[in-house]
Amino acid sequence: MHLNFASILFILGCTISTCFSKIFETTDALPLEYDFVVVGGGTAGNVIANRLTENSAVSVLVLEAGGLNENNLNLVVPSFCTRNLLPNSPVDWNYTTTPMPGLNNRSVAYPRGFVLGGSSSINFMLYTRGSSEDWDRYAAITGDPGWSWEHLQSYIRKNERFEQPVDHHNTTGQFDPKVHGFHGINTVSLTGFPWPINERVIQTTAEKPDQFPFNVDMNSGNELGIGYPQWTIKDGARSSSATSYLAPKFLQRHNLQVLLNARVTRLLSRGKSFHGVEFTVRGSTFQVTAKKEVILSAGSINTPQILMLSGIGDSSKLFSLGIQPVHHLPAVGKNLSDHPVLPLSWLVNSTDTLDTAARNATLLAEQLKQWNDTRTGPLVDGVFTHIGWFRLPHNSSIFKEFSDPSAGPNSPHMELIPENGNVRPPTPPTGNFLVLPAVVVSPLSRGEITLNSSDLLGHPIINPNFLDSDFDLFAMKEAVKAARDFISAAAWNGYIISATNNATTDAELEFFIRNSTAAIYHPVGTAAMSPKGASWGVVDPDLRVKGVEGIRVVDASIFPIIPAAHTQAPTYIVAERAADLIKAAWEGQMY
Ligand SMILES: Cc1cc2nc3c(=O)[nH]c(=O)nc-3n(C[C@H](O)[C@H](O)[C@H](O)COP(=O)(O)OP(=O)(O)OC[C@H]3O[C@@H](n4cnc5c(N)ncnc54)[C@H](O)[C@@H]3O)c2cc1C
Ligand SMILES: *[C@@H]1O[C@H](CO)[C@@H](O)[C@H](O)[C@H]1NC(C)=O
Ligand SMILES: *[C@@H]1O[C@H](CO)[C@@H](O)[C@H](O)[C@H]1NC(C)=O
Ligand SMILES: *[C@@H]1O[C@H](CO)[C@@H](O)[C@H](O)[C@H]1NC(C)=O
Ligand SMILES: *[C@@H]1O[C@H](CO)[C@@H](O)[C@H](O)[C@H]1NC(C)=O
Ligand SMILES: *[C@@H]1O[C@H](CO)[C@@H](O)[C@H](O)[C@H]1NC(C)=O
Ligand SMILES: *[C@@H]1O[C@H](CO)[C@@H](O)[C@H](O)[C@H]1NC(C)=O
Ligand SMILES: *[C@@H]1O[C@H](CO)[C@@H](O)[C@H](O)[C@H]1NC(C)=O
Ligand SMILES: *[C@@H]1O[C@H](CO)[C@@H](O)[C@H](O)[C@H]1NC(C)=O
Ligand SMILES: *[C@@H]1O[C@H](CO)[C@@H](O)[C@H](O)[C@H]1NC(C)=O
Ligand SMILES: *[C@@H]1O[C@H](CO)[C@@H](O)[C@H](O)[C@H]1NC(C)=O
Ligand SMILES: *[C@@H]1O[C@H](CO)[C@@H](O)[C@H](O)[C@H]1NC(C)=O
Question: DSSP labels for 268-281?
Answer: EEETTEEEEEEEEE
- Measured CA distances, 476 to 469, 480, 487, 519 (Å): 11, 6, 17, 13
pLDDT at 265: 98
Catalytic site includes residue 328: no
Count other Cβ atoms within 10 Å, centred on residue 475: 30
Whether 149 lines ligand 2, by a CB cut-off of 6 Å, is no
Whether 170 lines ligand 4, by a CB cut-off of 6 Å, is yes
Q: Is 115 annotated as a binding residue?
A: yes
- For the chain, list residues with pLDDT below 70: 1-31, 590-591
Which of 275, 327, 339, 566 is labelled catalytic? Answer: 566
Residues in the chain: 591
Nearest Cα residue to atom 2 of ligand 6: 363
Which of 327, 339, 413, 522 is labelled catalytic? Answer: 522
At 92, give phi and psi (nearest 5°): -120, 150
DSSP secondary structure of 300-321: HHHHHHHHHHTTEE-HHHHHHT
Which atom of ligand 8 is least distant from the CA of 395? 1
- DSSP label at 97? P
Cα 349 to ligand 10 centre (Å): 6
Which atom of ligand 3 is least distant from the CA of 105? 1
Cα 270 from Cα 278, distance rounded (Å): 14
**Would you give the distance in Å from CA 187 to the centre of its chain?**
16
Which atom of ligand 9 is least distant from the CA of 452? 1
pLDDT at 589: 75
pLDDT at 587: 87
Q: Say if residues 64 and 41 touch (Cβ distance below 8 Å).
A: yes
Helix (H) or strand (E) holding 199: helix 198-207
pLDDT at 318: 98
- DSSP label at 219? T
Helices and strands per DSSP (H, E), number in the chain = 14, 30
Whether 82 lines ligand 1, by a CB cut-off of 6 Å, is no
Cα 450 from Cα 463, distance rounded (Å): 8
In testing the pocket of ligand 6, which one of 352, 360, 367 has its CB within 8 Å of the most ligand atoms?
A: 360
DSSP secondary structure of 450-516: E-SSS-TTSPPEEE--TT-SHHHHHHHHHHHHHHHHHHTSGGGTTTEEEES----SHHHHHHHHHHH
Catalytic site includes residue 566: yes
Q: Say if residues 221 and 197 touch (Cβ distance below 8 Å).
A: no
Bridge partners, residue 8, by sequence? 24
Q: Which of 190, 188, 157, 186 is closest to 173 using CA atoms? A: 190
- Measured CA distances, 169 to 43, 165, 173, 236, 323 (Å): 30, 7, 11, 14, 58
- DSSP label at 119? G
